């Protein structure tokens, strides 16, 4: 376990070559800076662990996989430097998932918003349950999906990413996400979801780790510049979050 508190936690478990990383936050599994940092460390650690063959990333609960950035922390940002630091948390996590030499299976049991869509897109294989609808709501609060954008566009294409980004208040259902490649599989219920994840993880745990690492490297060809691109995108979001428009929009969302 990395941490556990009433303000959220990150846990790690390892069984027979499979390392499971689970996160939780009481506000719909949103991600404050601390959880982003701990998830990044967890991915790094599992990726460097010789006993780990495959990683499962999941969140606790049944309703929401991840609600994205923590609104409380967004409102607490007072200057561009603090904004850069916060949004760099998403940049570091996505880059950690990208560079991790182990395949990462992401379990999507519920809705994905903003950064949650980014985590699904940064997965090597996302398995979802019906009802795991998606929305990139950043523009609706005056920012934009700048940091997660490269991962989402890589997975679903520019046209679909543009649609999600522009119509930022509209939910797309899980079948929409599956058809466009964000989800590799879609299952009717939790039992089917978990059985599929168990089967794939067990198969990969007995596969050649060198072959899997090389295969993953080929999947992510052409993304080496993300080490610089994503922090640059984080600076854009960090500046925009200071605007009166964005602060007013976030306050309105919090009241809903």
Q: How many other C-beta atoms are found inside a 10 Å radius of the C-beta of residue 79?
A: 11
- The CATH number of domain 9-193, selected from 3.40.50.300, 3.40.440.10, 3.40.190.10, 3.90.226.10: 3.90.226.10
Q: Residue 112 above 60 pLDDT?
A: yes
**Facing residues of 22 across strands?**
11, 58
Looking at residue 164, what is its pLDDT?
97
> Domain coordinates of the chain in residue numbers?
9-193
What is the pairing mode between strands 54-59 and 18-24? parallel
Looking at residue 3, what is its pLDDT?
52
Mean pLDDT (whole number) for 160-168: 97
- pTM of the predicted structure, to 2 decimals: 0.94
Q: Are 12 and 21 in contact (CB under 8 A)?
A: yes
If we measure between CA atoms, which residue out of 98, 2, 108, 95 comes closest to residue 45? 2
Looking at residue 251, what is its pLDDT?
84
Would you state the structure tokens that stand for residue 154, as one six-digit string? 């890589």
What's the CA gap between 107 and 234, in Å, rounded?
26
DSSP annotation of 137: -
What's the CA gap between 176 and 171, in Å, rounded?
10
Would you state the structure tokens that stand for residue 70, as one six-digit string? 């923590």
């Amino acid at each position: 376990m990395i941490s556990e508190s009433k303000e959220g936690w990150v846990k790690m478990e390892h069984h027979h070559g499979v390392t499971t990383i689970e996160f939780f936050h009481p506000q719909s599994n949103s991600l404050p800076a601390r959880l982003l940092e701990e998830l990044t460390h967890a991915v790094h650690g599992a990726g460097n662990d010789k006993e780990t063959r495959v990683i499962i990333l999941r969140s606790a609960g049944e309703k929401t996989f991840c609600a994205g950035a923590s609104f409380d922390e967004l409102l607490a940002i007072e200057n561009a430097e603090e904004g850069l630091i916060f949004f760099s948390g998403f940049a570091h996590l996505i880059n950690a998932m990208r560079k991790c030499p182990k395949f990462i299976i992401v379990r999507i049991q519920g809705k994905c918003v903003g950064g949650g869509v980014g985590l699904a897109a940064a997965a090597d294989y996302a398995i979802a349950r019906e009802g795991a609808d998606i929305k990139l709501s950043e523009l609706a609060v005056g920012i934009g999906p700048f940091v997660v954008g490269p991962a989402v566009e890589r997975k679903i294409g520019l046209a679909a990413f543009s649609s999600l980004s522009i119509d930022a208040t509209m939910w797309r259902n899980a079948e929409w996400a599956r058809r466009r490649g964000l989800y590799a599989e879609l299952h009717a219920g939790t039992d089917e979801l978990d059985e599929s994840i168990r089967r794939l993880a067990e198969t990969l745990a007995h596969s050649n780790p060198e072959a899997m690492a090389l295969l993953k490297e080929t999947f992510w060809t052409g993304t080496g510049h993300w080490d610089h691109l994503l922090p640059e995108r984080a600076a854009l979001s960090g500046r925009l979050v200071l605007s009166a428009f964005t602060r007013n929009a976030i306050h309105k969302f919090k009241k809903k």
